[in-house]
Amino acid sequence: MNRIVVYFFLFLLSQPTFPSHAQQNKIDSLEKQLANMPADTNRVILLNKLTYQYFTWGTDTSKTKSYAQQCLQLAHQLRYNYGIGQAYTALGNYYYSRNQNPEALKQYEMALPFYQRAGRKRGLAVIYSNIASVTEYMGNYTKAMEYYLKSTRIAEELDDKGAIGRNLSAIGLLRLSQKKYEDALRYLFQALSVHKSNQDNIMKAHTLNTIGEVYLQRKQYDKALQYLNQSLLLGDSLGLAQGKIDCYNSLGHVYSCLKQYDQAFNFYQNALVLAEPQGHYQSMSIALEGMAEVYQEKGDLTKAVVYFKRSLELAETNKLAQQKLEAHQGLTAAYAQLKDYYQAYFHQSKLLSLKDSLYNHENDQKIAQLEASYEIDKKQVEIELLHKDQQRALLFRNAILMGLLGTLVIIGLIVNRQRLKNRKNRLLLEKSEEITTKNTQLELQAEVMSKQADELAISNAQLAQQASQLQKFDRVKSNFFTNISHEFRTPLTLIITPLEKLMSDTLNNSQIQKHYQLIDWNARHLLYLINQLLDFSKLEAGSLKVQLIRSDVNQSLKVATYAFASLAESKNIQLHFQSGYQTIHALFAPDILDKILNNLLSNAFKFTPPGGQVKVGINLQHTPDSTTKLGDQITNWNLEITVTDTGIGIPAGQIGHIFNRFFQVDGSQIREQQGTGIGLSLVKELLALQQGSILVKSEVGSGTEFTVYLPLVECNFEINHSTEQSKAESGYILLNQEENTQQELESLPVQTEPNEHYPVMLLIEDNDEVRKFILESFQDEFQVVEASNGTEGLKIARKVIPDIILTDRMMANMDGMEVCRQLKTDERTSHIPVIMLTAKASEESKIEGLETGADDYILKPFRMQELKVRVKNLIEQRKKLRERFTREVKIQPRDIAITSADEAFLNKAIRLIEEHMSDTDFTVETFVQKIALSRVQLHRKLKALTNQSTSEFIRSIRLKRAAVLLEQQYGNIAEVMYEVGFNNKSYFANNFRKMFGVNPSDYHSYITQAGRIDTTEKAE
C-alpha cells in the first residue's frame, strides 16, 4: 500500500499544533499596529502579514480568512495589484488548509493575472507552485508538473535557492506518487543538498520524510527507517505538527511491512490523534488505511472493512485521488477474503478506473515531454551565451588586425614624409648658408628686444596677479555679506512686522499674546538660520549631507507657509495654502525644504503689491519607472510645490538668468526691492543636492509661478475628503498648539516651601549665573545640591545618591560626558536619571551624549518650562517603575531597571536573598555586608528602584516567594512560612495580608478564582 502525502508547499510545509510564545507576541504586536494604521498600501502589507502569521502559527483559522478578505477589499480600493494578488493567495491558502481544493485552485488562478500586472516574478513563482500543489492533490499530475517547472524557471532567473529547493522536493514527491522511484530519488537528493546549503531545516525535515517514503516503496526498510527517524527527530525539534503526523504514518507502514503489527498500529493511532483536531483529512485517511491493513493482516476482516470505509469516506469527501485508490484496493482484498464477491467486484472496478486516470501512459509521456522541454530551454540559453562569446571573440580579433594594419599605414606615411622633409632640408641648408652673416646681426638685435619683452611680461603678470587677488577678496567679502543679509531678511521681517503692530497699541490681549508667540518662534528661527550659515559653507565645499527624517511633508509645508501670515496681513496680501492631501508621510529633509519654501515665499511677497495674492499648492506625481536615488533608495514619488504670485512678473529675456548667483532683474520697480541675488541660486543648489529641479513661468504685469519637483522616499499619503479650512482656522494651528502647551506647562503643580520629603536634585554646572538661575527655578520643588565641576559632582552623587542629576556637558577638570559615563557604570548610581545640558547642537554630539547613558539631552538656550516638564517626566517614569515592582508578584529585574547595571544590581540583590531565603538570621546588616554598599547607599538605591527600604525589600521578596509556593501548593502554611525565613506565624500572616489582601490560607483559592474570572473575561 502507498503511503504518499502531498505536502503543502506554499510558504512553510507544516504548521505547529500551537503557536510559540514568540510568534503569539508577534501576532499581538501586528494587531496593535493595525489599530492605528491608515487605509494605505502599508495597511495592505500589514493585513497580509497577519494572514500569513495566523495561517502559519495561529490556531484560529477564521482569522486567516477574515484578514485576507479585509486585505482584498482595501487592495481593490487602492488599485494595488500586488496586494490583490497576495490577498487571493492568502484566501487560497485558507481553503487549501481546509481541503476545499476546487475553491483554493480558483483563488490561486485569480491571483495569477495581478502578479503578472505588478511584474512581481517572485510572486509568480509562488503562485505557480501553489497551483501545482493543488492540482497534484486533485490527481492531475501532468498539470502539476507543468506548473512546478514554470515556478522553477522563474526561481532560477531570480537565483532563489529556497524556491528551487522547494520545487525540487515537490517534483520528487510527484514522481513518487507515479511510482517513478529513480526519478523521485534524483530530485529529492538534489533538493536535500539545496536545503542544507540554505540551512532550511523545515524543508530538510520534509525531504528526509519523502526519501524515507521512496525507500519504503522499494522495500528497503532499513534505509526507510533511517531517513524517517531523522525527519521525525528534526521535525520534533522544530515543532512541525504535520511533519510529525507524516512520520508516524510512514513508520506505521514500515513496521506493518516488517510484520510488527502492534507497533505499526500504535504509530497509525498516534498519527490519527494528532491529525483529527487540525482537520488534516489526507493524513487521517492514510492512518485509517494503515489501521485497516493491520486488522486485515491479523485476520479481523470486519474491523478492517470498517476502517477502510472510513478512509474512503474521507477521501471522497475531500477529493483525495490517491487515498480513494488505496481504500478501494484494500476493500477489494477484504471483501474477497470475506467471500463477498459482489462488493469485491464493485471496488475492483472503481480501482481499475482510478488507476487508468492516474497512471496511464499518456500522462507519463506528457510529463517526459515537459521535462525534455525544460532541459532543451536550458541548453538553448547555454548555446546562445556560447554564440555571443564567440561573436565577441571574433570582433576582438578583427579589431586587433585592423589596429595592426592601421599602424603599418601610419608608419609608412611617417617614413615617406620624413624622406621628403630631409630632401627639402638639404635645399634650405644651402640657401641658409648664404644669409648666415645677415642673420647673426639680426639675432643680436632680437636678443636685446627679447630681454626687454621678458621683463615687461613679468611686470604685467605681477600686476595681473595682484588685480586677481583684489577681485577675489572683494568677491568673497561681497558674497559673505550678501548671504548673511539674505538669510536674515525673512526671519527679521517676521519679527519686525509683529513688533510694529504691537507698538501701534491697537491689539487686544489675545492678539498681543499671539504676536509675542510669533516673535518668539521667529527669534528661534533666526538662531536656526545662524546654524545654517555653517551648512551653507559645507554646500559650497560640496560636503553638506542630506539628513532624511520620516515626517508629514504636508504639515511641514503648511506650517512654513502660514509663518508668513503676519507679513501677508501687514502688506494686505492674501495668502493661500492648497493641498488635496490629509497627510503625506515620507523620508525628506525638513530643514532644506523649509529653506527652499522660505526663499520662494520671501521673493513672492517682495514683488507682489498690496491687494495681490500669494498661493502655495501641493501635489504628488507617481514615477514607478524612476531610477533616481536619494541616498541608497530609489524614489518613486515626486513632490510638486507651486508658489504663485500676482506680482510684477519677470521679463521673458531675463528668465533664463534668474538662477545665476548675484543676478538681479533689471527694471526700476524690481531694483527698488533691493534683492540680494542669491536666493534663487541657493534654492536651485539645495534642490540639486536632493536630485530635485525647479521651473519658472512668468508674465510681466500678471505674476510669476515657480514649480519645485522634489523626489520623496517611502511615500504614503491620505486624500483629504473634507472641505478646505479657512486661513484663520489653519493659519494659526502652530500658535494655538504652542499656546495650549504653554498653558499646560504653567498649570503644573508648584510647591512653595522645600522640605526633606522633596526629591533630591544634583546640579553640576561650572557657570555660576546659569547654576544660580536653574537652582532658583527648582528650589520650590526639589532639595537642590550644587556642584561647580564634574569631579565635585561625582563625589556628591556617590555620597548623597540623588533622585535626578542635571549636568553641563562642557566643563573643566571633568566634562559631563565622563561624569555620565562613570555614573552609569557605578552600581551605586547607575539608576539615577541624568539630563545633559549642552550648547553643542550637532546630531553627532547628541548621539554621543545619549550613548554614554544620558536619559535626556537638551540644547542651550533652553526653555525653563520645557526643562521642568522633562525633569517631571523622568521622575514620574521612575515612580511608575517602582510601583510596578511593589505591585507584581512574579517580577523580573529586566522589567524594572533602565540600565544593564541596574538589572545586574537587582539580580544580585534578589539572588542574595534567595540564597538565604530560609535563614531567619539574615538581617539588613548581613545584606549590607554581602552586597558591599553602605547602609545609606543601599537604602537610597533600593528606594529609587523599588520604593522600598532595605528591610521592606527583603520582606517583599520573601512574601512573593511565599505566594508562589502557596499557589503551587508546596505545603501547609507553617512549612511555607519556615521555607521563606519567617518563624512567627501571626507576623507572617499579618504581613502577607497587608501585601496581597488575603490570608495565606485563602491565597490559593483566591488566585484560582481570579484566574477563572480572567479566562471568562477574555472569552467574552
* Local confidence band at 106 (pLDDT 50, 70, 90 cut-offs): very high
Answer yes or no: is pLDDT of 908 > 70: yes
pLDDT average, residue stretch 711-736: 59
> What gap in Å lies between CA 727 and CA 574, rounded to an integer?
10
Domain map of the chain by residue range? 545-665+674-718, 760-887, 901-1014
Residue 78 has a pLDDT of 92
pLDDT average, residue stretch 540-558: 82
> Which of 224-228, 410-414, 869-873 bottoms out in mean pLDDT, i.e. has the lowest?
410-414
Of 114, 154, 148, nearest in space to 131 by CA? 148
pLDDT average, residue stretch 720-735: 46
What distance lies between CA 471 and its chain's CA centroid?
Answer: 53
Q: Model confidence over 414-464: pLDDT tens digits?
A: 888 888 877 777 777 777 777 777 777 777 877 788 788 888 888 788 888
Residue 662 has a pLDDT of 55
> Which of 39-48, 173-182, 252-261, 642-651 bottoms out in mean pLDDT, i.e. has the lowest?
173-182
Answer yes or no: is pLDDT of 724 > 60: no
Global pTM reads: 0.36
Residue 5 has a pLDDT of 41
- Cβ 255 vs Cβ 225: under 8 Å: no
What distance lies between CA 748 and its chain's CA centroid?
Answer: 38
> Which of 757-766, 775-784, 1007-1016 bottoms out in mean pLDDT, i.e. has the lowest?
1007-1016
Q: How many C-beta neighbours within 10 Å does residue 34 have?
A: 15
* Local confidence band at 761 (pLDDT 50, 70, 90 cut-offs): very high
Q: Map residue 45 onto helix, strand or coil.
A: helix
Answer yes or no: is pLDDT of 503 > 50: yes
Answer yes or no: is pLDDT of 727 > 50: no
Residue 646 has a pLDDT of 93
Residue 644 has a pLDDT of 96
Question: Of the segments 20-24, 181-185, 751-755, 935-939, which one has the largest average pLDDT value?
Answer: 181-185
Answer yes or no: is pLDDT of 264 > 50: yes
Q: Map residue 609 onto helix, strand or coil.
A: coil
Q: Which three cell numbers stand for residue 404?
A: 595592426
Phi, psi of 554 (to 5 degrees): -60, -45
Q: What is the DSSP string of 808-876?
A: ESS-SSS-HHHHHHHHHHSTTTTTS-EEEEES---HHHHHHHHHTT-SEEEESS--HHHHHHHHHHHHH
CA pseudo-torsion sign 452, 453, 459, 463: positive
Residue 535 has a pLDDT of 56
Give me the percent of the chain exceeding a pLDDT of 90. Answer: 16
Q: How many C-beta neighbours within 10 Å does residue 621 have?
A: 13
pLDDT average, residue stretch 926-953: 81
Question: Of the segments 227-241, 431-445, 629-643, 874-888, which one has the largest average pLDDT value?
Answer: 227-241
Burial bucket for residue 263 (CB in 10 Å: 0-12, 13-18, 19+): middle
pLDDT average, residue stretch 282-288: 89
Answer yes or no: is pLDDT of 1 > 70: no
Residue 703 has a pLDDT of 93
Query: What is the rounded radius of gyration, in angstroms, for the C-alpha atoms of the chain?
Result: 42
CATH topology for the 545-665+674-718 domain: Heat Shock Protein 90 (3.30.565)
> Which of 214-223, 281-290, 748-757, 777-786 bottoms out in mean pLDDT, i.e. has the lowest?
748-757
What count of Cα atoms within 13 Å lies in the side-chain half-sphere of residue 511? 12
- Cβ 719 vs Cβ 581: under 8 Å: yes
Mean confidence (pLDDT) of the chain = 78
* Local confidence band at 784 (pLDDT 50, 70, 90 cut-offs): very high
> What gap in Å lies between CA 166 and CA 156, rounded to an integer?
12
> Which of 39-53, 398-412, 631-645, 723-737 bottoms out in mean pLDDT, i.e. has the lowest?
723-737
Q: What is the DSSP string of 331-372?
A: HHHHHHHTT-HHHHHHHHHHHHHHHHHHH-HHHHHHHHHHHH
pLDDT average, residue stretch 87-94: 92
> CB under 8 Å to 109, separation ≥6 — which residues?
131
Q: Which three cell numbers stand for residue 612?
A: 495681490
- Cβ 49 vs Cβ 30: under 8 Å: yes
Answer yes or no: is pLDDT of 740 > 50: no
**851, amino acid identity:** E
- Cβ 609 vs Cβ 648: under 8 Å: yes
Residue 220's alpha-carbon distances to 20, 226, 251, 911, in angstroms, are: 37, 10, 13, 57
* Local confidence band at 793 (pLDDT 50, 70, 90 cut-offs): very high
> What gap in Å lies between CA 470 and CA 474, rounded to an integer?
6
Looking at the structure, give the CATH architecture of the domain made up of residues 760-887: 3-Layer(aba) Sandwich (3.40)
Residue 886's alpha-carbon distances to 319, 882, 956, in angstroms, are: 60, 7, 8
Q: Which three cell numbers stand for residue 134?
A: 493543488
> CB under 8 Å to 878, separation ≥6 — which residues?
803, 831, 833, 944
Secondary-structure breakdown of the chain: helix, strand, coil percentages, each rounded to the nearest 5 = 70, 10, 25
Residue 215 has a pLDDT of 92
Residue 416 has a pLDDT of 80
Q: Which three cell numbers stand for residue 479?
A: 558674497
Residue 108 has a pLDDT of 92
Answer yes or no: is pLDDT of 11 > 50: no
Give 940 or 381, the one with higher predicted confidence: 940
Question: Of the segments 46-55, 609-618, 856-865, which one has the largest average pLDDT value?
Answer: 609-618
Looking at the structure, give the CATH architecture of the domain made up of residues 901-1014: Orthogonal Bundle (1.10)
> Which of 1-5, 288-292, 534-538, 624-628 bottoms out in mean pLDDT, i.e. has the lowest?
1-5
What distance lies between CA 685 and its chain's CA centroid?
Answer: 31
Beta bridge partners of 634: 629
- Cβ 46 vs Cβ 73: under 8 Å: no
Residue 513 has a pLDDT of 73
Answer yes or no: is pLDDT of 981 > 70: yes
Answer yes or no: is pLDDT of 110 > 60: yes
Q: Which three cell numbers stand for residue 272?
A: 490519527
Q: Map residue 272 onto helix, strand or coil.
A: helix
**233, amino acid identity:** L
Q: Which three cell numbers stand for residue 690?
A: 536632493
> Which of 100-109, 114-123, 157-166, 444-453 bottoms out in mean pLDDT, i.e. has the lowest?
444-453
Q: Model confidence over 49-81: pLDDT tens digits?
A: 888 888 776 667 788 899 999 999 999 999 999
CA dihedral 998, 1004, 1005, 1009 (to 10 degrees): 90
Give 338 or 381, the one with higher predicted confidence: 338
What distance lies between CA 238 and its chain's CA centroid?
Answer: 27
